[in-house]
Structure 1
């Protein structure tokens, strides 16, 4: 899977502009009612990109941000084989939707190492062993379970959880 394919698939889950005042991601502070309500567009949120004119963000600008901040960050060198496309996409999707640190921790929990949010040799070795012993489908399911569990712990799950759960279900159906 290349970046263009992953971006096309992911952005279809993100949608257009939203400035729901009950969504903490739409506020520059990340806290409802604090900072400026700038919204979210194509998954690019005010709580992460507070200096950006979110409402007028173009798809090409969003694509550049995705590539730089959410795709190129996955350095998984050291595996004895290539990371399967399905898992590459899930890492990318989780980084966009739940944050890079959380995506890294989902992976670490899925493969049974300390979840410090740093991808190093211990994580790479554990991922390699998990893929070898269990296959991509099982590792991806473990990853998605960690992602879904994260969502259920969020205060905003009652309001936004249905959409997050659908996102996970869509991934599960593609395994």
Structure 2
């Protein structure tokens, strides 16, 4: 269930922006954060730079789902954690994002999110996982040689991701309440268990009195 994919994608695209061809960006020209090579791999094998400039949000969604969201198993991670890992993956690669999440939740750092990572992520408070992951991500970015050029934007992005991811926790629907069993119907006692009515009690009392009186006369 991709409950948060559309929302997470919209937030990612805000940070990625439009067409950019920065000379110091090792990724080369991008649009909506997507390179021409990635565009050709997932959208159009014969795509041109002009096609990349005209990429639609729907086409971008195909790329981000296949290359990042599915890679980090976003549909299985807790609310908020899914977006924090997703944005990290878009910015620095799914393998690195997975390893940093695994370090935070205390499982083997193999760079592939599997059942053990999912279980461990759900076992910890989502807010604590998000904070620790964003802290570790920011520390990683500050060690890069390109921090001087892109650091201000990266720092702002991580801060925004932290905020939005924490908001997702609060917006998550509450867990369904356990159904309360209906009370058992009260079964009325059968005739043998019912108390005698006043009329019946009077009848039996009169009968007993008559028998005692009868035997009393014979005794005389």
Match of 2:114 in 1: 120
| Partner deviation per Cα, 1:78-131 (whole Å, 9 max, x = no partner) | xxxx632211111211111111111101101111233220223442343233x1
| Distance in 1 (alpha carbons) for counterparts of 2:114 and 2:57 | 33
Which of 66, 69, 77 does residue 67 from structure 2 map onto? 69
Higher alpha-carbon Rg: 2
Aligned position for 1:156: 146
> What residue ranges of structure 1 are gaps of 5+ in the alignment?
27-38
Native 8 Å contact 2:141 2:154 kept in 1:
yes
- Whether the 8 Å contact between 1:109 and 1:146 is mirrored in structure 2 is no
Q: What residue in structure 2 maps to residue 24 of structure 1?
A: 26
Are residue 5 (structure 1) and residue 3 (structure 2) matched? no
TM-superposed CA distance for 1:50, in Å, is: 7.5
Give how far 1:15 is off: 0.5
SS at match of 1:24: coil
Matched, 1:88 2:65: no
Q: Distance in 2 between matches of 1:19 and 1:76?
A: 29
Equivalent residue for 2:127? 137
Alignment-derived partner of residue 33 in structure 1: none
2:91 matched to which residue of 1?
A: 97
**Following TM superposition, by how much is the alpha carbon of 1:162 offset from its aligned partner in structure 2, in angstroms?**
1.1
93-102 or 1-10, which moves further after superposition?
1-10
Per the TM alignment, residue 68 of structure 1 is displaced from its structure 2 partner at its CA by 1.6
State TM-score, norm by structure 2: 0.62
With over 3 angstroms needed to count, the CA separation of the structure-2 counterparts of 1:121 and 1:84, relative to structure 1, is: closer
Q: What is the distance in 1 between the residues matched to 2:59 and 2:122?
A: 34
Following superposition, the deviation at residue 76 of structure 1 comes to 7.1
Q: 5+ unaligned residues in a row in structure 2: which ranges?
A: 41-46, 167-220
Indicate if the aligned counterparts of 2:9 and 2:61 stay in contact, CA closer than 8 A. Answer: yes
Quick one: structure 1 residues 3 and 128, their matched pair in 2 at CA, closer, same or farther if it must change by over 3 Å?
A: closer
Q: TM-score by structure 1 length?
A: 0.77
* Cα distance change, pair 146–76 in 1 and its aligned pair in 2 (3 A): same
Q: Is the 8 A contact 1:95 1:101 kept in 2?
A: yes
